Amino acid sequence: MQFDLLIKGGRLIDPASGLDAPRDIAIADGRIAAIDAAIDAEHAARVIDARDCIVTPGLIDLHSHVYWGGTSLGVDADRLAAKSGTTTFVDAGSAGAGNFLGFRRHVIERSKVRILAYVNISFAGIFGFSQTVSVGECSDLRLCEPREVVAAVREHADVVVGVKVRSGRHAGGTSGIAPVDLALEAADKSGMPLMAHIDEPPPGRSEVLPRLRKGDILTHCFRPFPNAPVFASGAVRPDMRLARERGVIFDIGHGMGSFDFEVAKAMLRDGLAPDVISSDVHLYCVDGPAFDILVCMSKLLTLGMPLVEVLRAATQRPAEAIARPDLGTLKVGGIGDVAVLRL
């Protein structure tokens, strides 16, 4: 059999299958054609020497902002993909029901890299975000109409993976907990999970967390004070532990200022590692401090999270969070999404 690509000599780590061994992997017609200890290079049109490298499922960045050209914070997913090992970007609510069609037509469908998305509860999506302009998309509740979100989810069901809400003073002004409740209504009626962002109160963490259901995503789970998941003493807040027990998914969503090393240390020390590692990459953090998902993964490695678990949090777990079992794993016949990394 002839292969389009052969990745040879690497350490293949696929957390979903439990495989961690030297393996060659061959791809043909966009699918994984063979995985073996040794595959003859003569059968491949192109060969990548992966000696001293880790070969893993293509990374899934569960929290990104890639409505490039359509929103002020969007970055070009295609430019970021190759250098970050990312084969799937999940846009976290850059577009709402009112502009999702434009996002789809002009970005998602034209992109070489796979883009999936959460629909923002706000009809306009995230529209007033820059270094000098900050207008919260949920500050006027007239923009938060669940029926519009449900319609958008149904119309774009092949690319939509959930509903997004940004709660807090910056995103919601004086709207309090109302945007979260409206987003939950939309998520419930569309049969989708909710991704909930928490920034500075109001509302407080204690109002948001109990509302989240099994399979919902708490992004910025290691954010600093205020609304941090730990007390000033470093002890983890009880509502975080209850949320984990309930099946709420913890996503780091690094971003511009939503990851705190001391908070992360405290959470890891108490056994509350993130389920998902994502970058929350956008125009104002792509040049630092987030950069991309690889930098975010490196920070968790530095904090002592085991390599296999770091890879799991960027492959298997986000695939599960978006109900895409065909992604985040390497198996013969499966999608040929592969990342080649070096520590």
State the 10-residue block means of pLDDT for the chain, 343 residues long: 97 99 99 98 97 99 98 97 97 99 99 99 96 95 99 99 97 97 99 97 96 99 96 96 98 98 98 98 98 99 99 99 98 98 96
The dihedral through the CA atoms of 328, 332, 337, 343 has a sign that is positive
**How many domains are there within the chain?**
2
- What domain range is 336 assigned to? 5-56+329-341
Shared-domain flag, residues 140 and 275: yes
What is the CB-side half-sphere exposure of residue 168 using CA atoms within 13 A? 19
Q: What is d(CA 275, CA 281) in angstroms, rounded to the nearest whole number?
A: 18
88-106 burial code (b ≥16 CB/10 A, e <16):
bbbbbbbbbbbbbeebbee
Which pLDDT does position 239 carry in this prediction? 97
44 and 94 fall within a common domain: no
Place of tokens 């929350």: 280
Q: Does 280 count as an annotated binding residue? A: yes
Query: Where residue 102 sits, what CATH number does that domain have?
Result: 3.20.20.140
Contact 97, 123 (CB under 8 A): yes
Radius of gyration of the chain (CA): 20
Tokens, residue 17: 């299958």
Q: Specify the pLDDT at position 14.
A: 99
* 197 carries a ligand binding annotation: yes
Q: Does 133 lie in the same domain as 41?
A: no
**Residue 98 and residue 179 in one domain:** yes
Same domain? 82 vs 45: no
Are 231 and 253 contacting, i.e. CB atoms less than 8 angstroms apart? no
Looking at the fold, whether 130 and 168 belong to one and the same domain comes out as yes
Structure tokens at 339: 């990342």
**Are both 127 and 9 inside the same structural domain?**
no
CB atoms within 10 A of CB 153: 23
pLDDT at 332: 98
**pLDDT of the residue at 89:** 99
Nearest one of 13, 38, 15 to 26, comparing CA atoms: 38
Residue 58 one-letter amino acid: G
CA dihedral for 118, 74, 177, 261, sign (positive or negative): positive
Question: Do 44 and 66 have their domain in common?
Answer: no
* DSSP state letters, 60-96: EEEEE---BTTBTT---HHHHHHHHTEEEEEEEEEEE
Sheet with strand 59-64: strands edge to edge: 59-64, 86-96, 114-120, 160-167, 194-198, 217-219, 249-251
Same domain, 20 and 96: no
The CATH number given to whatever domain includes residue 40 is: 2.30.40.10
Residue 282 annotated in ligand binding: no
Return the structure tokens found at 155: 């119309």
Query: Is 187 found in the same domain as 42?
Result: no
Residues 300 and 233 in one domain: yes
Return the number of other C-beta atoms located less than 10 Å from residue 303's C-beta. 16
- 232 and 317 part of one domain: yes
Provide the CB-side half-sphere exposure for 220 (13 A, CA): 26
pLDDT of residue 1: 83
Is 292 annotated to bind ligand? Answer: no
Q: What's the pLDDT score for residue 260?
A: 97
164 is in an annotated binding site: yes
Q: How many CB atoms lie within 10 A of CB 224?
A: 16
